[in-house]
Amino acid sequence: MRTISRKEVIFEFSPENQPVASVEAGETLLIETDDCFRSQLKSEKDLVTEIDFSKVNPATGPIEIKGAAPGDLLVVEILDIQVESKGFMVAIPEEGGFGDIIKDSVTKLVPVKDGKFWFTPELSFPINPMVGVIGVAPASGTKPCGEIGDHGGNMDAKVICKDARIYFLVQREGAMLAMGDAHAGMGDGEAVICGVEVPAEVQVRVDLIKNPEFKPPRPVVELGDHFIAIGHGSSLDEAASTALHDMMELVHYKTGMNRAEIAMLISAVGNLKVCQIVDPQKTARVEMPKSILKSHDQPIFAG
């Protein structure tokens, strides 16, 4: 299995990015990701307000997928996520959901051991590894890896985890996949501004669906019995609306139902959830059960 080193990172998704590796559709890869601080925090004495902010949110890659052309779907299946043993969290004045009451920058070391992260020596939780930043090169313009766009980016969605299949609309030749910002755990909302930030090894299988019938404008995730539209916007309302409308069009494509019927169906069995509220662009998702589909044992997009 080919390994992509965490030495090879980008800090922005750009059409100009040059690939660090070129792989075939169908290949399995091990992608080493750095933490969102580029491992600049070594202990609780290191404060996030003192690190080099031009080096946050590194994404390993980009990885060219041979044959990927704009309009294709890139399929990234997450086979496994192994997180390292040293996680960090931070609280920062004027940032995140509690910036108004955080007066001093704080760094917290959160060890990961025995399948748990240890918030304190007495308070531990099962790890729930996920990938915060994942995306493809945008068609135009440059997006820092800390931001979110139709290409993906810093979505911080808990559903981007082991066994998830993520579909991206390819925007430039080769797709140029990159990912980083793994968390050993995170709650929906990412309230303070981070999860339990850790380096990780992410095993993925990449595949291509050439010239698909339906082209989702933003990333779509399949996980277990659900399929999920992730929306973004400058407010949570806008992010929610985008995710709802993306889900509407996806269900319309899959079922042919009329839109009023779909609206009621989403309202009856769809779950609208917050991904994160702490970045300038917010992310929200709509999760729908695959049981609404005729072929619910099949992937939602096929080649």
Query: Given the rule CB under 5 A, which residues bind Ca ion?
Result: 132, 154, 156, 181
**190 lines the binding site for Zn ion (CB under 5 A):** no
Q: How far apart are CA 188 and CA 208, in angstroms?
A: 30
**36 lines the binding site for Zn ion (CB under 5 A):** yes
Nearer to Ca ion, 87 or 132 (CB): 132
Q: How far apart are CA 145 and CA 135, in angstroms?
A: 9
Q: Which window, 130-138, 235-243, 276-284, 286-294, contacts Zn ion (CB under 5 A)?
A: 130-138
Nearer to Zn ion, 153 or 270 (CB): 153
**87 lines the binding site for Zn ion (CB under 5 A):** no
Nearer to Ca ion, 128 or 154 (CB): 154
Q: Which window, 11-19, 64-72, 107-115, 197-205, contacts Zn ion (CB under 5 A)?
A: 197-205
Contacts of 39 (CB under 8 A, 6+ apart): 199
Tell me which of 19, 62, 96, 132 binds Zn ion, using CB under 5 A: 132
**Least Å distance between CB 70 and Ca ion?**
26
**202 lines the binding site for Zn ion (CB under 5 A):** no
Residue 154, binding choice from Ca ion, Zn ion, none, Cβ under 5 to 8 Å by partner class: Ca ion
**Least Å distance between CB 61 and Ca ion?**
16
**Least Å distance between CB 85 and Zn ion?**
17
Residue 272, binding choice from Ca ion, Zn ion, none, Cβ under 5 to 8 Å by partner class: none
Residue 62, binding choice from Zn ion, Ca ion, none, Cβ under 5 to 8 Å by partner class: none
Q: How far apart are CA 260 and CA 120, in angstroms?
A: 49
Answer whether 57's CB lies under 8 Å from 228's CB.
no
Answer whether 49's CB lies under 8 Å from 37's CB.
no
Looking at residue 280, what DSSP letter applies? S
Nearer to Zn ion, 68 or 284 (CB): 284
User: 218, 217, 233, 219: which is closest to 277 by C-alpha?
Assistant: 233
Residue 204, binding choice from Zn ion, Ca ion, none, Cβ under 5 to 8 Å by partner class: none
**181 lines the binding site for Zn ion (CB under 5 A):** yes
Q: Which window, 127-135, 172-180, 260-268, 293-301, contacts Zn ion (CB under 5 A)?
A: 127-135
Q: How far apart are the first and last CA of the chain?
A: 24
- Helix boundaries (H) for 154-273: 236-255, 259-269
Contacts of 220 (CB under 8 A, 6+ apart): 166, 167, 227, 228, 229, 230, 246, 250, 300, 301
Q: How far apart are CA 131 and CA 129, in angstroms?
A: 7
**248 lines the binding site for Zn ion (CB under 5 A):** no
Answer whether 198's CB lies under 8 Å from 183's CB.
yes
Binding site residues, Zn ion, CB under 5 A = 36, 132, 181, 197
